Amino acid sequence: MQQTGSNDHAKPRSSPQFYVPSVLLPREAANSPTVHKIHILGDDERSKFIAHALSSVYDSVEMLGWRSSHSSKYRNVQKSKPISRRSAAAITESNLAVPQAIAQADDTHIDQLVVSGRGHEAVEALQSVKNRINENTTVCLMNDGLGVLEDVRKKIFEGTDTAPNFLLGHMSHRLAFNRTYDAVTQLKQGQTRLTFAEAPRMRVKDMHKVETRPNFVKTLEEAKDLHSSLSPFDQWLRFKLPSVIFDSVVEPVCVLLEMPYQGLLQNPAAQRMMHSLLSEIIQVLENMPELEGSTVIRDYVHSKGIRRFMYNSIMAKRSHPSQLVRRIENGLPTDVEYLNGYFLRRGQKLGLDLRMNLMMRDMIKARHSQAIERLNSFIPVEETSIPSDLAFRYRKTPR
C-alpha cells in the first residue's frame, strides 16, 4: 500500500474513474438478434475479468449467476491510476446493475457462452441454462482441471442432438478479489489460449478452414486484455499443464502431511511422494493417443521445466497455507476428480498402474468427508441475555 506524506505541493489523489462501455442498452435492444452479444456464466474472479475484457468488443455482455440464480448486464469498470509498475486496473460491477433472476421458462437463445469456475461447477452451471443452448451455440469452457468437457457431455448432452460446439480455454492471468471495492484486480498480466478439442491434431490454419467457430475466436482475440490466441490441442495442453500438475502433485502432499508449501522442500519423504505422483502423470501423458507424436508434450515432460515451475511456485507461496487444505477444512468441494481423478481414468483405460495418484485421490476424499462430518456435528448455540428478575437463579454463590 502506498503511503503519502504531508506535502503541500503534492497533487491530490483522484477518485476512481468508472468507464461505462456500450453494454448500457435497453433490455429490448439487448435481446435483439442484431446485437453482438455474449453471455458469461460464472461467479469467480475470471468471470468478471472476462466480462470487462469483452465489453470492449461486444455490444452487450450479460453475466449469468447460476448459483444465486441472478444475472446482470456488465456495466462499469473501475480504473485506478497505477502507483507502481506492478499495479493494475481494478474491475467491478456498478451498483446501477440491478441483478435479474434467471427464469426457468426463459428460452432466449444463447449464441456465445463463456463458462468459468472450478471443474466441479461446470455441469451444474450449464444445467441452469440448458434450455437456452443448442447445436448453434458455441460454449467456451474456461474451468479448472481436465476432463470437464467429457463430464459435461456425459451428464448433460449424452444422447441428444442439441449439444453445442465446444472450445477449451485457459488463462494464465493472476487475479485477486478486492473486497474493498467488490472488484477484481489483475496482479499479473497473462495469456489466454483456446483450442478445438474435437480435432487435437489439426493445425491452426486448417481449423479456420473447416470449423464454424472462428468468428467467436476472432472476437475473443480482439479483446486486448485477454491476450487470446488459438492453438492446437497439444500446445494448449502444454500451456495448461503447469497449473494442473501443481494442483495434482503439490497440493495433495500438503494435505497428507498437513504442512505449508515451504515445508515440502525441507522434507525428503514429501519430495519422494511428489516425484512418484509426477512420474505417474508423465506416464499417462506419454501414452495418451491424442498426444502421440507431439514433440511439444514430449519435450516438456522430459525437461526440467516441470520441476522448476513447481519449485518456483512453492517458493512464491512459502509459508501460506495450502489452498486445498483450506477448502477441505471448510468442507468445500474439491476438484480432485478433474486432477488426479482425470489421470486415473485415462491411466485405467491405458492399463497403467497409478497407485500413488489413487491413494492421494482416496485420501483427499476421506479427509473431505471427515471435515463435513465434523462441521455438521457442531450444535449452533444462541446466546441471549437473562432477564434481571431471573438473574439470581443462574448466579453462582461465592464460596
Question: 267-297, pLDDT tens digit by residue?
Answer: 999 999 999 999 999 999 999 999 998 999 9
- In a shared domain, residues 212 and 251: no
pTM of the model: 0.78
CATH of the domain at 130: 3.40.50.720
Domain's final residue, options 198, 231, 264: 231
At residue 313, the pLDDT reads: 92
**Residue 66 pLDDT greater than 60, yes or no:** yes
- In a shared domain, residues 220 and 253: no
In 190-310 the beta strands, taken as DSSP E runs, fall at: 192-195, 228-230
* Terminal C-alpha separation, the chain: 55
Number of domains composing the chain: 2
Residue 352 included in any domain? yes
Residue 49 included in any domain? yes
Q: Fill in the amino acid letter for 380.
A: P
**Residue 215 pLDDT greater than 90, yes or no:** no
Q: In sequence order, which residues have a C-beta less than 8 Å from that of residue 194 and are 6 or more positions away?
A: 140, 167, 168, 169, 217, 220, 228, 229, 230, 231, 236
The four Cα atoms 249, 146, 196, 112 give a dihedral, to 10 degrees, of -130
Q: In sequence order, which residues have a C-beta less than 8 Å from that of residue 268 and are 6 or more positions away?
A: none
- In a shared domain, residues 175 and 46: yes
In the chain the beta strands, taken as DSSP E runs, fall at: 17-19, 37-41, 60-65, 70-73, 77-79, 90-92, 100-101, 112-117, 138-143, 165-171, 174-178, 183-188, 192-195, 228-230
At residue 86, the pLDDT reads: 43
At residue 117, the pLDDT reads: 93
- In a shared domain, residues 149 and 43: yes
Query: What whole-number percentage of the chain has pLDDT above 70?
Result: 72
CATH of the domain at 323: 1.10.1040.10
Higher pLDDT, 92 or 368: 368
At residue 2, the pLDDT reads: 41
- In a shared domain, residues 199 and 256: no
Residue 15 included in any domain? no
Range of the domain at 317: 237-377
Point out the least confidently predicted range of 147-151, 163-167, 183-187.
Answer: 183-187
- In a shared domain, residues 338 and 321: yes
- In a shared domain, residues 259 and 355: yes
**Residue 110 pLDDT greater than 60, yes or no:** yes
